[in-house]
């Protein structure tokens, strides 16, 4: 069984990425799994090449520091020679309307329009590249947070369509979302998801933030004036979000954890300590890995070769079936 997933270096990793995704990949990962830094997806909105490169390294180090087996980790652009052709084949199997329906595209393109910056075609085709990532490797399961489930659904549709139109080439993947921490929200704007590229970092707990900064951000989290200690995401989104973070840290459900506290302040203190305890050792290991660039390069090369070897046969089958090789 192959699980595959990725994280985009569009900003520093936050606690939502960690609790909703990376930590699970580390805990549940098997020898056939693949986890990668999707740097090509980081080009779909305005970016600085040097920052993209350094964030890619930082994320690669974060995946390894989180405990994912180093030989199952790679960088997406190291597979560009295979992903380029496969993305084109899949784009030619994907209807315009299917891509246009993607919620993330609608949200991100609206943000760009709001800022007055052009919407890149790459932002529109982003889910098709993601389908290529998944289908190239024959992944059975794709562990993601809620926000990516729709993209995995598109990959399923494209796999089935290709298989039935041109011949069996792809495994039909399925998304798996975590029971807790699937959608961590911004602490200052709890109706929005926590986002690496949020304009204001006050509501985003970054994995590499200093412990004191994490504590300050939690202390300033928006709650409400109801004074009811219950898990009610619709009516009390701020408190519910804090409970979700706490629950994900402790491996419990939000309703289980809420019983142990008698004030919002107590909940915040508990969240701050749980997050610091979870992230401080990770931050230390990331630092150590970044201090040895040659070793990081070596790990990157090994993982990239392994993934490229795995994908080569499927790509040639697909091109042959599609009539172009
Ligand atoms: P990305 O970098 O946006 O997110 C990485 C993972 O973190 C999850 N996530 C969250 N989970 C809980 N709460 C949040 N606030 C939150 N924000 C993000 C995401 O669901 C994801 O699992 N396009 C993908 C990367 C990608 C990919 C792939 C994933 C590229 N190719 C192939 C799976 C398979 C992305 O940008 O994720």
202-223 confidence digits (pLDDT tens): 999 999 999 999 999 999 999 9
Between 121 and 197, the more confident residue is 121
Q: 198 pLDDT exceeds 90?
A: no
Closest CA to 190 of 236, 237, 244, 245: 237
d(CA 60, CA 37): 6
pLDDT tens per residue, range 130-177: 999 999 999 999 999 888 999 999 999 999 999 999 999 999 999 998
| pLDDT score of 243 | 97
Between 198 and 91, the more confident residue is 91
Q: 304 pLDDT exceeds 90?
A: yes
ipTM over the 0.95 cut-off: yes
Q: Give the whole-number percent of the chain exceeding pLDDT 70.
A: 100
Span 103-110, average pLDDT: 94
| pLDDT score of 256 | 94
Best of 33, 144, 311 for a ligand 1 pocket test (most atoms within 8 Å of beta carbon): 144
pLDDT confidence band for 270 (50 / 70 / 90) = very high
- Residues with Cβ within 6 A of ligand 1? 4-8, 16-17, 20-21, 38, 41, 130, 133-134, 142, 144-145, 147-148, 181-184, 193-194
| pLDDT score of 250 | 93
Known catalytic residue at 268: no
Q: 180 pLDDT exceeds 80?
A: no
pLDDT confidence band for 115 (50 / 70 / 90) = confident
201-287: in CATH 1.10.240.10: yes
Q: Is the pTM of this model over 0.90?
A: yes
Closest CA to 178 of 141, 140, 143: 143
Q: Is there a contact between 198 and 6 (Cβ–Cβ < 8 Å)?
A: no
Best of 21, 68, 174 for a ligand 1 pocket test (most atoms within 8 Å of beta carbon): 21
Question: What are the CA-CA distances from residue 92 to residues 86, 158, 205, 246 (Å)?
Answer: 10, 10, 39, 44
d(CA 213, CA 203): 11
Neighbours of 249 (CB within 10 A): 23
pLDDT tens per residue, range 2-23: 999 999 999 999 999 999 899 9
Q: What number does the ligand 1 atom closest to the CA of 182 have?
A: 12
Known catalytic residue at 193: yes
Q: What number does the ligand 1 atom closest to the CA of 126 have?
A: 23
Q: What is the mean pLDDT of the chain?
A: 95
- 243 alpha carbon, distance to own chain's centre: 21
Q: Where are the domains of the chain?
A: 4-181+292-322, 201-287
Domain 4-181+292-322 is of which CATH architecture? 3-Layer(aba) Sandwich (3.40)
């Amino acid at each position: 069984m192959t699980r595959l997933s990725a994280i985009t270096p569009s900003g520093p990793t936050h606690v939502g990425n960690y609790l909703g995704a990376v930590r699970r990949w580390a805990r549940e990962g098997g020898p056939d799994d693949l986890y990668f830094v999707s740097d090509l997806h980081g080009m779909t909105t305005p970016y600085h090449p040097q920052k993209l490169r350094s964030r890619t390294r930082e994320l690669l180090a974060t995946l390894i520091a989180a405990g994912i087996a180093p030989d199952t980790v790679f960088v997406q652009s190291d597979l560009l020679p295979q992903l380029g052709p496969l993305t084109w084949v899949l784009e030619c199997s994907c209807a315009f309307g299917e891509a246009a329906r993607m919620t993330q595209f609608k949200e991100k393109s609206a943000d760009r329009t709001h800022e007055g910056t052009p919407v890149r075609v790459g932002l529109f085709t982003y889910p098709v590249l993601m389908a290529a990532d998944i289908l190239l490797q024959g992944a059975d399961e794709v562990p993601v947070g809620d926000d990516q489930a729709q993209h995995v659904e598109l990959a399923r549709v494209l796999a089935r369509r290709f298989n039935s139109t041109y011949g069996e080439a792809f495994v039909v993947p399925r998304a798996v979302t975590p029971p807790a921490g699937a959608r961590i929200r911004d602490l200052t704007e709890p109706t929005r998801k926590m986002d690496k590229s949020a304009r204001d970092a006050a509501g985003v707990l970054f994995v590499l933030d200093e412990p004191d900064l994490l504590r300050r951000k939690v202390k300033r989290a928006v709650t409400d004036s109801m004074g009811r200690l219950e898990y009610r995401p619709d009516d009390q989104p701020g408190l519910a979000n804090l409970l979700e973070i706490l629950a994900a840290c402790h491996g419990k459900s939000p309703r289980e954890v809420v019983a142990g506290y008698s004030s919002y302040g107590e909940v915040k203190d508990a969240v701050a300590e749980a997050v610091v305890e979870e992230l401080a050792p990770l931050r230390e290991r990331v630092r150590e890995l970044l201090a040895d660039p040659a070793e990081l390069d070596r790990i990157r090369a090994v993982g990239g070769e392994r993934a490229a070897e795995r994908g080569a046969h499927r790509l040639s089958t697909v091109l042959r079936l599609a009539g172009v090789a």
